[in-house]
Structure 1
Amino acid sequence: MSSDKKQPLAAVTLAAIGVVYGDIGTSPLYTLRECLSGQFGFGVEHDAILGFLSLISWLLIIVVSLKYISYVMRADNAGEGGILTLMSLAGRHTGARTTALLVIMGLIGGSFFYGEVVITPAISVMSAMEGLEIAAPSLDAWIVPLSVAVLTFLFMIQKQGTGLVGKLFAPVMLIWFLVLAVLGIRGIMDNPTVLQALNPWWAFHFFVEYKTVSFFALGAVVLSITGVEALYADMGHFGKLPIRVAWFSVVLPSLILNYFGQGALLLTHPEAIKNPFFLLAPDWALIPMLILATLATVIASQAVISGVFSLTRQAVRLGYLPPMRIIYTSEKEAGQIYIPIINWVLYFAVLIVIISFEHSSNLAAAYGIAVTGTMVLTTMLSCTVAVKNWHWNRAAVGLILVVLLCIDVPLFSANLVKIFSGGWLPLCLGLVMFIIMTTWKSERFRLLRRMHEHGNSLDAMITSLEKSPPVRVPGTAVYMSRALNVIPFAMLHNLKHNKVLHERVVLLTLRTEDAPYVHNLRRVAIEQLSPTFWRVVASYGWRETPNMEEIFHRCGLEGLNCRMMETSFFMSHESLIIGKRPWYLRLRGKLFMALQRNALRAPDQFEIPPNRVIELGTQVEI
C-alpha cells in the first residue's frame, strides 16, 4: 500500500485495470450468447435482446457501481478487503453467538470462492479458444487441447512469480477494454435503436413479456458480473480510489458499449448468436482478436489464481487451514506469493473441468451459483458492519439490506436451477473447503485443550524451578507456547525425561492479530518472569509471515540478545489417537490427522535452522 500511494494516480489506476478487472472484463466473451442461446424457450427476438441488455447494464450499475464500488468497499481493515476481512470486521462488536454465525457465513463465502476459482480459468480460456470455430470450423476439435496447453503453461509459470508477467497485464487489459469499446461503437452505429435498452423499462417489460421464464434467465444475466468480488478482495493492492477511477472511466463504459454492440449485431443478424463477440469484429481482425482474447483470459485466470493464493494465506494465518509452504516471489511486493500445493490441486481440478465439460456453454451452466451465493453473504456481513462498526441508523441500514437482498436473492435463486446441470460442481468444491476449514479450526482447538489439561500453573512452576533448579546447562532454550500462562508441553517433557534446563529460557508466543499488518514498534513484547525466564510475544498481521531472525533482531533492540547458533528450539510433536466418538466425528478426526501429517512443520514455517531444533514427541487422544 505504501508504495502504491507514492505512485501517480494514473499509474495505479492502470495497474488496477490489469489485475482487478480481468474476470469481469472477459465476461462479454460468453454472456450475451448464453442469454439468447434458446435454452430458456425463446430465441434471438427483439424484446429479448433489449430486455437482456437492459438487465445487464443496470446490474453493472446497481450491483457493481453502487453496491460494491460505493458501499462494500467502505468496509476495509487497514486498507485490506475480501470476504474474510468482512467476516473479521463484522464480528468485532457482536456477541459470541452472533460472531459464530458471522464466522460461518464468512467461511461459506470463502469456500464459494474456491469453488468459483476452478471454473473461471476454464470458461474464460475456452471462450477465447472457441473463436477458432469462426476462423476455421475444422479446428473445433482443437479447442480443448489448446485450452489445456494454455492453462498448463499458466500454472507452470506460477512459481516464477507474477512480477515480470504483471508488467504486461495493464497494457494488454487497457488495449482489451479499448477494443471492446471500439467494437461496441461500431456495432451500435449500424443499429442505434439498440440504445433504447438503456431505459430500465425494457428490463421490466422483459419480466412482463416472458413471465416465469424470465426469472430463470437471470441465471445467465449474472454471468455479466462474475468477478465482482475481485473489486473488494484486491482493494489492499491498489486502494479504493484507483479501483473506482478505473471502473467509471474505462471498464464500465467499455463493457456497456460492447454488450450493446453485440445486441445491435443480433438485431440485424440473428444468426450471429453462434458467437456474437467474435462476429462483431471485422473479418480481417478475427485472428488478432483471438490472440488478444487469449491474452485477456490468461490475465483473468492469473488474477483469480493470485486471489486464491492470498485467500489461502489469510485462512492459514487466521487458523482455518493448516500451515503450508508459501513462497514469496518478489523481494518488494509482499502480495506476490506462490503456494505449490494450492497451485497444483487447482491445476488438476481445472484440467478435469475442461475435459469433462468440453464447451464453455456447458461450463456456463455451472457458473454463477458460487458468485451469487457470495453476493448474498457479502450483503448481510456488510450491513452488520454498517450497524455495529460505523453506527449507521438501523432503519437506513435495514432499507439498504432489503434493497440489496431483493437483487441478490433472486439472482441466487435463479442460479439454483443450475445445480443438476453443473452447478453442483462449485457447491461440492465449496463444501469440501468448508469442511476442511471448520475441521482444522475445531479439531485444533480440541487438541490444544487436551494438551493443556495438566492444570499446572506456569507462575508456580517457574517459582519452583528457580527455588530448586534442576541441572542447568549453558545456552538459551526457546519453547514455543501457543497460549500465555500455559506451560509448554515440550518443557514439561524435557524436565520429565532429561531433567535439565538451560540457563536462560524464553517462552515464545506467536500471535495473529485482527489486522493485516502490525507496526514494527508493536512487533515484540518482552516480559521477564524471573531471573532466568522470559516471555516473548511476537505479533503479526494475517497478511504477514513470522520470521525467527526478525523476532531475534527485535528482541535484541529491546535488550534481550539471542544468537541463533547458541539457541535450542524445543517443540512438541503430537502423535494423534482418535478416542471414542460417533462415526461422523470419527471421520472428521481422521481428516484432521491427515491434515496434521501434511502440515508444514514449525521449523520450516518460521525459518529455524534444522540443527537448532529439538522435537519431543507425545501421544494425544482427540
Structure 2
Amino acid sequence: MLLSLNALGVVYGDIGTSPLYVMNTIFHDPPSPVDAIGACSLIIWALIIMVTLKYIVFIMSADHHNEGGIFALCSLLIKKSSSMHATGKKVVIVLGMIGASLLLGDGAITPAISVISAIEGMAIAYPGLTQYVVPITVIILVLLFLAQPLGTAKVGTFFGPIVFVWFGFLFGIGVYNVTLEPRALYAFNPWEGLSFFVRHGPASYFTMGSIFLCVTGMEAMFADMGHFRKGPIRLAWMTVVFPAVVFNYLGQTAVLILRPEVYSSPFYSSVPHSLYWLIFALATLAGIIASQAIITGSFSVISQAIWLGLSPPFQIKQTSTTVEGQIFIPTVNWTLMIATIGVVCGFGSSEAISHAYGVTVCTNEVLSSVLFFLVLKYSWRVQTWKCLPFLLFLFVDGSFWGAIMAKLPHGGYAAIILSLIFFSVMMIWFVGEKKLRTYRKVHNISTRLEVL
C-alpha cells in the first residue's frame, strides 16, 4: 500500500492533471449538450482501452527484470528471440532508440504544460496577473529539478499524500457536478462517442488529437515500473486514479451542459467558488508533481540505454538502498531542466504548448504496440492468430497518431526536434562503440585498462 501511495505521487501526476486542460482544448465554441457528452465518452473509452487494457493488463506484463519502458521490450526481443533474424534485432534496437528519444523529448514538454496549466488558474481569477504566469512557472520548475537528487523515495513520500488528496477532490468535485446534471453519465455509452464523429463528419477526426491528451502519462507509467513494480502501479490506477479522473471529466461535462459558455475553462468553472483557491493550490502542487513521472521515467530509460550500450555512460546515482530501480542521473536532469524552461519561455501558455504536446507520446505509443506485438510472437512464442486481437490497439494508436500529426506545423515540430537531438546522441554513440569494438577485435586490442 505504501508503494501504491508513493506511485500516486510519482507515476500518476501527469494523467491526474490532464483534467486541467483536456476539455478546453477540444472545444473552440460553446458546445451542445450532445457534443459535450460525446467528447467525454471518447475520453472515458480512451482511458479504458489505452490505459486500462493496453498498459495495465497487457504491456506491463512485459517487464525485463522488473524494469519497464521501451528498452525493456527491446531487451525481451533481443535476448529471448532466438528465431529473430540479426537484421530484425538491429531494427528493434533502432526502434528502441527512437522510442526512448521520443520519451526524452516528451520529458521537456510534460513538465512545462503541467505546471503552466495549473498556474494559469491564477490568471483566470485575476487577469492582471497574466504577465507573471511564465516567471512563476520557471521558478517552480527550477525548484522541482533541484529536488531530484533527493531520490524517488523521498520525493514520492512527500508527493504521494498530496496527489491522493488531489484525486479525492477530483472525484468529489466530479460527483458534485454530476448530481447537478446526471445526463453527463450518458458518456459511459460508447455510442455517444461514435455519434460525435457521425454528427461532425471528417472534420471531427482531428478532435482526437485533443482527446489523446487525456492518456498522456501512460508511457511514463510503464517506464517508471522499475521504481515501484507493477503491482502497486496497477492497484493505484484501479482504486484511485481511474475513478477520480473519469468522474472529474463527467463533472466538467455536466458543467458544459448547464453552462456551455465556460468552454474555455471548464475545470475551474466546475469548482465551487468556496473551494477555488484551495483547488488552485492543489492544482499547482499536482502540476509540479505531474512532471515527476516523466523525469523519473527518463532516468530509467537512460539507465537501460547505458546498460544496452546505446548511450554514453553518464553518472548514475542510486537513491534507494531497498529498490534498485530508484536512481538519479545528473546530466539527464539538468538537460531536461534547460529544455523545459526553453519550452515555457518559447511558447508562453498551456494552449500554445498543447500544440507541441502529444506528438512524441503518440508516436511512442505506436512503437510500443509494435514492439509488444513482436514480444508476443517472438519472445513468448504466442501463436500468430492469438496475437492478432492486439492489433486493435495498434489501430487505435494509429488513428490517434494520424490526428495528432496535424499539430506538427503548429508547434509539434518542437517536440520532434528535441527528440531528434536525443536520438542523434544515442545513434552516434551506438555506431561509434560498434566501430571501436570491431577495431579492437581486428587489431587484438584488449579493452581492459592496463595499470600505469
Q: Check conservation: 2:15, 2:216, Cα contact below 8 A.
A: yes
- 1:452 is paired with a residue whose SS is helix
1:332 is displaced (CA, Å) by 4.2
Query: Superposed, which structure 2 residues align to 1:448-467 within 5 Å?
Result: 448-454=437-443
Give the counterpart letter for 1:342 in structure 2: V
1:238 is displaced (CA, Å) by 2.5
Query: Superposed, which structure 2 residues align to 1:51-450 within 5 Å?
Result: 51-91=38-78, 92-93=80-81, 94-401=84-391, 403-450=392-439
- 1:335 is paired with a residue whose SS is coil
Q: Write the distance in 2 (CA, Å) between the matches of 1:400 and 1:78.
A: 24
* Cα deviation code 1:506-535 (max 9, x no counterpart): xx6xxxxxxxxxxxxxxxxxxxxxxxxxxx
Q: Write the distance in 2 (CA, Å) between the matches of 1:194 and 1:394.
A: 41
More helix by share: 2
Q: Check conservation: 1:135, 1:286, Cα contact below 8 A.
A: no
Q: Write the distance in 2 (CA, Å) between the matches of 1:157 and 1:429.
A: 23
Moved more, 348-357 or 160-169: 160-169
More strand by share: 1
Within the alignment, does 1:37 sit opposite 2:28 as a pair? yes
Q: Write the distance in 2 (CA, Å) between the matches of 1:265 and 1:385.
A: 44
Q: Write the distance in 1 (CA, Å) between the matches of 2:297 and 2:395.
A: 28
Q: Which segments of 5 or more consecutive residues in structure 2 lack a partner in the other structure?
A: none
Within the alignment, does 1:21 sit opposite 2:12 as a pair? yes
1:278 is displaced (CA, Å) by 1.4
Q: Write the distance in 2 (CA, Å) between the matches of 1:122 and 1:400.
A: 33
Distance 1:72 1:177, change over 3 A: same
Q: Write the distance in 2 (CA, Å) between the matches of 1:180 and 1:282.
A: 12
Give the counterpart letter for 2:304 in structure 1: Q
- 1:321 is paired with a residue whose SS is coil
Q: Check conservation: 2:106, 2:361, Cα contact below 8 A.
A: yes
Give the counterpart letter for 1:359 in structure 2: S
* Cα deviation code 1:96-121 (max 9, x no counterpart): 11111111211111111011110000
Q: Check conservation: 1:181, 1:254, Cα contact below 8 A.
A: yes
Q: Write the distance in 2 (CA, Å) between the matches of 1:214 and 1:81.
A: 34
* Cα deviation code 1:540-574 (max 9, x no counterpart): xxxxxxxxxxxxxxxxxxxxxxxxxxxxx62xxxx
1:183 is displaced (CA, Å) by 0.4
1:155 is displaced (CA, Å) by 1.4
Give the counterpart letter for 1:135 in structure 2: A
* Cα deviation code 1:170-204 (max 9, x no counterpart): 11111111100000001111111111111111111
Q: Write the distance in 2 (CA, Å) between the matches of 1:326 and 1:399.
A: 40
Give the TM-score taking structure 2 as reference length: 0.96
Q: Write the distance in 1 (CA, Å) between the matches of 2:330 and 2:293.
A: 17
Q: Check conservation: 1:90, 1:382, Cα contact below 8 A.
A: no
Moved more, 298-307 or 186-195: 298-307
Q: Which residue in 2 is equivalent to 1:596?
A: none
Q: Which residue in 1 is equivalent to 2:446?
A: 488
Q: Write the distance in 2 (CA, Å) between the matches of 1:304 and 1:412.
A: 20
Q: Check conservation: 2:113, 2:350, Cα contact below 8 A.
A: yes
Q: Write the distance in 2 (CA, Å) between the matches of 1:342 and 1:218.
A: 32
Q: Write the distance in 2 (CA, Å) between the matches of 1:241 and 1:163.
A: 17
Give the counterpart letter for 2:34 in structure 1: D
1:372 is displaced (CA, Å) by 1.0
Q: Check conservation: 1:69, 1:231, Cα contact below 8 A.
A: no
Give the counterpart letter for 1:379 in structure 2: S
1:393 is displaced (CA, Å) by 2.0
* Cα deviation code 1:64-107 (max 9, x no counterpart): 11111111111111222110010111233111111111112111
Give the counterpart letter for 1:55 in structure 2: L
Q: Check conservation: 2:226, 2:325, Cα contact below 8 A.
A: no
Give the TM-score taking structure 1 as reference length: 0.70
Give the counterpart letter for 2:62 in structure 1: A
Q: Write the distance in 2 (CA, Å) between the matches of 1:351 and 1:225.
A: 23
- 1:322 is paired with a residue whose SS is coil
Higher-RCO chain (CA-CA 8 Å, sequence separation at least 6):
2
Q: Check conservation: 2:227, 2:323, Cα contact below 8 A.
A: no
Q: Write the distance in 2 (CA, Å) between the matches of 1:424 and 1:277.
A: 28
Q: Which segments of 5 or more consecutive residues in structure 1 lack a partner in the other structure?
A: 1-9, 455-485, 490-507, 509-568, 571-612, 615-622
1:34 is displaced (CA, Å) by 0.6
* Cα deviation code 1:584-615 (max 9, x no counterpart): xxxxxxxxxxxxxxxxxxxxxxxxxxxxx63x
- CA-based RMSD of the aligned residues comes to 1.6
Moved more, 360-369 or 158-167: 158-167
Within the alignment, does 1:49 sit opposite 2:36 as a pair? yes
Q: Write the distance in 1 (CA, Å) between the matches of 2:2 and 2:144.
A: 26
- 2:315 is paired with a residue whose SS is coil
Q: Write the distance in 1 (CA, Å) between the matches of 2:97 and 2:35.
A: 38
Q: Which residue in 2 is equivalent to 1:531?
A: none
1:294 is displaced (CA, Å) by 1.2
Q: Write the distance in 1 (CA, Å) between the matches of 2:381 and 2:240.
A: 34
Total equivalences in the alignment: 449
- 2:375 is paired with a residue whose SS is helix
